[in-house]
Chains A and B, each alone.
Chain A
Amino acid sequence: AQTVTQSQPEMSVQEAETVTLSCTYDTSESDYYLFWYKQPPSRQMILVIRQEAYKQQNATENRFSVNFQKAAKSFSLKISDSQLGDAAMYFCALRRGTSYGKLTFGQGTILTVHP
């Protein structure tokens, strides 16, 4: 079985500052993918960034980057230069590296951005 844990129910950050959201996971698979999704109040899930487990280099997408620690099974998201539009619920998710793409999600972290 796979599990994903987000231990921070809520986080807040000042506009233009940096914030890090934590995620730990557990899987017996050696090949898997990790994702961060953003869910604004509209409920629309938006893919923020993804990381293939076999890649050692941390993924980056503009202001978003991850710190992937495979041995520790940790996958944190760093948001730099936070903007008001970054306010949302953020979910960490895991997908095993075989067959098809069922996602296992964490409980989510609500991010508030203060002007």
Chain B
Amino acid sequence: GAGVSQSPSNKVTEKGKDVELRCDPISGHTALYWYRQRLGQGLEFLIYFQGNSAPDKSGLPSDRFSAERTGESVSTLTIQRTQQEDSAVYLCASSLTRELFDEQFFGPGTRLTVL
């Protein structure tokens, strides 16, 4: 595809349920980032992947949050036992390499609503 894609576009779930959010980066991009955007706020970094390893998980807010990546392809962000405070837009971005001059291209995000 031409850009970063994310699915689902919107997800409504009940408190306590688990959810999986998917990110398909641009083909060939080795670096992948997850961010969270609460309503009316800026983006908060969650996790960074280089290939399928995650050198920086420092932004994951709790052990209910986890992520994995298959090779240099799809990444999945999993939130277990969702809470209302998890409601936000989850954005994924990818870049060709981890080099500083490489632009991060963002997906359209998944809007998660926890009832």
Binding site for B on A (CB under 8 A): 4, 6, 33, 42-47, 91, 93, 95, 97, 99-108
Interface of B is mostly: strand
Identify which of B14-22, B79-87, B95-103 touches chain A. B95-103
CA of A43 to CA of B91 in the docked complex: distance in angstroms? 9
Which of A45, A91, A106 sits near B93, CB closer than 8 Å? A45
Binding site for A on B (CB under 8 A): 31, 33, 35, 40-45, 48, 50, 55-56, 89, 91, 93, 95, 98-100, 102-104, 106-109, 111
Contact (Cβ within 8 A) B102 A101 = yes
- A-B contacts, 29 of them at CB < 8 A, read A6-B42, A43-B91, A44-B106, A44-B107, A45-B91, A45-B93, A45-B106, A47-B103, A91-B42, A93-B43, A99-B98, A100-B31, A100-B56, A100-B98, A101-B33, A101-B100, A101-B102, A101-B104, A102-B45, A102-B56, A103-B35, A103-B43, A103-B45, A103-B104, A104-B45, A106-B42, A107-B41, A108-B41, A108-B42
